[in-house]
Amino acid sequence: MTDHDYGAVAAEIKKIIPNDDYDDGSTGPVLVRLAWHASGTYDKETGTGGSNGATMRYKIESSDSANNGLEYARKFLEPIKAKFPWISYSDLWTLGGVVAIEAMGGPKVPWKPGRVDDVDDQYVPPNGRLPDASQGADHIRSIFYRMGFNDQEIVALSGAHNLGRCHGDRSGFEGPWVPNPIRFTNTYFKLLLHAEWVKGKNSVGNEQFYSDDGELMMLPTDMSLVTDPKFRVWVEKYAADRDLFFKDFSAAFSKLIELGVTRGPEGLALRKYSTVARARL
Ligand code: HIF
Print pLDDT tens along the chain (281 aa). 458 999 999 999 999 999 999 999 999 999 999 999 999 999 999 999 999 999 999 999 999 999 999 999 999 999 999 999 999 999 999 999 999 999 999 999 999 999 999 888 888 999 999 999 999 999 999 999 999 999 999 999 999 999 999 999 999 999 999 999 999 999 999 999 999 999 999 999 999 999 999 999 999 999 999 999 999 999 999 999 999 999 999 999 999 999 999 887 777 776 554 443 444 44
Q: Is 100 in the pocket of ligand 1 (CB under 6 A)?
A: no
| Residue 198: DSSP 8-state | E
Q: Tell me: the pLDDT tens digits for 78-101?
A: 999 999 999 999 999 999 999 999
Q: What is the pTM for the complete model shown?
A: 0.96
Q: Write the DSSP string, 204-236.
A: TS-EEEE-TTSS-EE-HHHHHHHHSHHHHHHHH
Q: Find, among 125, 52, 64, the residue nearest to 93 by Cα.
A: 52
Strands of the sheet with 217-218, listed across from one edge:
198-201, 207-210, 217-218
Question: ipTM of this predicted complex?
Answer: 0.98
Q: Is 33 in the pocket of ligand 1 (CB under 6 A)?
A: yes
CA of 3 to the centre of ligand 1 (A): 34
Q: Find, among 136, 156, 154, 132, the residue nearest to 145 by Cα.
A: 154
Q: pLDDT value at position 279?
A: 44
Q: Is 129 in the pocket of ligand 1 (CB under 6 A)?
A: no
Q: Which residues of 35-70 are buried (b: 16+ CB within 10 A; e: fewer)?
A: bbbbbbbbbeebbbbbbbbbbbbbeebbebebbebb
**Which CATH architecture fits 6-130+253-279?**
Orthogonal Bundle (1.10)
Atom of ligand 1 nearest to the CA of 132: 27
What are the sequence ranges of the domains in the chain? 6-130+253-279, 137-250
CA of 93 to the centre of ligand 1 (A): 16
CA of 279 to the centre of ligand 1 (A): 31
Q: Find, among 15, 30, 74, the residue nearest to 164 by Cα.
A: 30
Check if the beta carbon of residue 72 is closer than 8 Å to that of residue 22.
yes
- Roughly what angle, to the nearest 10 degrees, separates helices 187-194 and 229-240? 120
CA of 162 to the centre of ligand 1 (A): 10
Q: Find, among 108, 128, 112, the residue nearest to 49 by Cα.
A: 128
Q: Cα angle vertex 104, ends 149, 217, to 5°?
A: 70
Check if the beta carbon of residue 41 is closer than 8 Å to that of residue 49.
yes
Check if the beta carbon of residue 34 is closer than 8 Å to that of residue 74.
yes
Cα 76 to Cα 78: distance, rounded to the nearest angstrom? 6
Check if the beta carbon of residue 47 is closer than 8 Å to that of residue 260.
yes
Q: Is 67 in the pocket of ligand 1 (CB under 6 A)?
A: no
Check if the beta carbon of residue 1 is closer than 8 Å to that of residue 267.
yes
Most informative mutation of 24, 30, 33, 253 for ligand 1 (most atoms within 8 A of CB): 33
Atom of ligand 1 nearest to the CA of 131: 27
> In this structure, which topology does domain 137-250 adopt according to CATH?
Peroxidase; domain 2 (1.10.420)
Active site residues: 37, 177
Most informative mutation of 36, 64, 68, 94 for ligand 1 (most atoms within 8 A of CB): 36
Q: pLDDT value at position 269?
A: 72
User: Strand, helix or coil at 175?
Assistant: strand
- DSSP bridge partners of 18: 26
Q: Is 206 in the pocket of ligand 1 (CB under 6 A)?
A: no
